[in-house]
Amino acid sequence: MKSIREAARRALTWKLMNDTYELRSGPDLVATLRWQKGSLFLGEAVEGRWTFKRAGFLRPKVTVRLENSPTNLATLGFSGSGGRLEVTDGRAYFWTAARAEWSIKDAAGNVLIQMKSTGAPGNLSGEVELTPAALALPEVSFLILLSWYVLVWQSTDLAVGEAAMVGSLVGLFAGSL
């Protein structure tokens, strides 16, 4: 596995391989994101291993922990079409979303990371763009993994919601026949 800083000279792309999302730079593996159970995923890069877990329904959030740690490293809370990531050391990052595109910004509003996903739920692929400022961050790896986790979770929620709506409509129309 190559570090994200080394690999960022070339295009970074996410692709689902078997049961694992892989972030690649050309042929080089840079990071992986794998489902564990429920909403728990494990992300791995040269820089570390983290778990990502969704919690809450009316006020959803995602927690980030170092693997096997009982304490949160960061928490991402959502509102509207974005969110705020609070790291335990007091730093904050901001997420903005428009359909299948996400941007991560620093507290001054500077874009650090942009991500775009394509494909159907359960088979997403995507592209990652990093700014030089992002590459200087010690947490760039977990920011990228967290962002992809959110895109995967978001697409799965949309698919489940659409399936429920179609099922309701079929039941409604079947009942009126």
Q: Tell me: the pLDDT tens digits for 106-131?
A: 999 999 999 988 877 677 889 999 99
Query: How far is residue 104 from each of residues 32, 140, 167, measured CA to CA in Å?
Result: 19, 11, 35
Report DSSP state, residue 41. E
| pLDDT category of residue 157 using cuts at 50, 70 and 90 | low
81 alpha carbon, distance to own chain's centre: 14
Q: Best-predicted range by mean pLDDT among 6-20, 26-40, 155-169? A: 26-40
Report DSSP state, residue 63. E
Parallel, antiparallel, or unpaired: how do β-strands 111-118 and 20-25 relate?
A: unpaired
Instruction: List residues bridging with 73 in a β-sheet.
Output: none
Query: Residue 88 belongs to a domain with what CATH number?
Result: 2.40.160
Residue 95: give the domain boundaries. 4-175
Average pLDDT over every residue of 14-43: 93
pLDDT at residue 60 tops 70: yes
Average pLDDT over every residue of 64-70: 95
What's the CA gap between 103 and 129, in Å, rounded? 9
pLDDT at residue 65 tops 60: yes
Look at phi and psi of residue 80 and say left if phi exceeds 0, alpha if psi is from -120 to 50, else beta.
Answer: left
pLDDT at residue 154 tops 90: no
Helix (H) or strand (E) holding 3: none
| pLDDT category of residue 165 using cuts at 50, 70 and 90 | very low
User: How many domains does the chain contain in total?
Assistant: 1
Question: Whole-model pTM?
Answer: 0.83
